[in-house]
Amino acid sequence: MCAQTRLLIVTAHPDDESFPIGGAIARYASQGVRVTLLCATRGEKGIPGVAAAETARIREQELRNAAALLGVAEVRFLDLIDGEVAQTPVDALAERVLAVMRQVRPDAVITFGPDGISGHPDHVAVSHATTQAFDRAVAGQMLAPTARLFYITPSEATLQGCGVPPLPQLAGGPVAAIDVGAFLTTKVRASQQHVSQHPPFTGAPEEEAKKLVCHEYFTLVRGGPALSPSTFDDLFSIL
């Protein structure tokens, strides 16, 4: 019997997971992959006029609701404060992520690219720390040499159209184009759990899902042929 495949996703705030990559999370969870979501903060500063502790309580629950819909097996936090992640030295932050990797032993890890997608300093810090942790985990044989690290890769296709992958030459590595067409309604439902963030979906999930594109993109930055300009369709496929 094969061991269960494990996927670790490292984000900064509640709601970083559902809209950008909720489709892929739901897809792999439905296929039996054990998905662990590690979120650095509880989004303490995300609700204007509401105290940090109360905001954290609200947003943690929203995240847990979304994660349950997506099929996430486990939600973990690094207990850092929203907006202050970048103030933690990257080595110390990497050590915290590494401790989780040591326990979870993922076959693949997904995090932000060094651009942080939105440029948010918390996202950028999580990207650097997770990349460092991944390299240390592989060097220390906590992860298999075949373990993969992916960066979430924004694409024009996130706004309109479907199946127009970013160019691997520009992305910096092979690009996984994950077909999430069967999971768009779930992705909308998960996004709608983040009520305090005013998700952009106000209608019925089935209707809102029709506005979304059917692929999410991830750039393979570790664990594959270096800079091979290719596109593939499964995070775990053999290249």
Residues making contact with Zn ion (CB under 5 A): 12-13, 16
> If we measure between CA atoms, which residue out of 198, 194, 203, 162 comes closest to residue 180?
162
Residue closer to Zn ion by CB (options 13, 215) is: 13
Does residue 23 sit in helix, strand or coil?
helix
* Tokens coding 31: 């296929």
16 vs 208, beta carbon nearer Zn ion: 16
Name residue, tokens 């909720």.
22
Report the candidate in 109, 112, 110 with the shortest Cα–Cα distance to residue 121: 112
- In the complex, minimum distance from the CB of residue 12 to Zn ion, in angstroms, rounded to a whole number: 4
The full length of the chain comes to 239
Nearer to Zn ion, 13 or 128 (CB): 13
Count Cβ atoms within 10 A of the Cβ of residue 142 and give its class: 0-12 exposed, 13-18 middle, 19 or more buried. middle
The distance of closest approach from Cβ of residue 146 to Zn ion in the complex, given in angstroms and rounded to an integer, is 29
Q: In whole angstroms, give the CA distance from residue 86 to residue 122.
A: 5
Q: Which residue number is nearest to Zn ion in terms of Cβ?
A: 13
Q: What is the DSSP letter of 178?
A: E
Determine contact, residues 69/183, Cβ cutoff 8 Å: no
Of 173, 167, 10, the closest CA to residue 80 belongs to 10
CB of 12 or CB of 133, closer to Zn ion: 12
Residue number, 10 or 143, with CB nearest to Zn ion: 10
In the complex, minimum distance from the CB of residue 234 to Zn ion, in angstroms, rounded to a whole number: 26
Q: Report the residue number, 34 or 194, with the smaller CB distance to Zn ion.
A: 194
Whole-number Å distance between alpha carbons of 34 and 229: 29
Residue 131 CB, shortest distance to Zn ion, in Å, is 17
Q: From the CB of 152, what's the least distance to Zn ion, in Å?
A: 11
Give the shortest CB-17-to-Zn ion separation in angstroms. Answer: 9
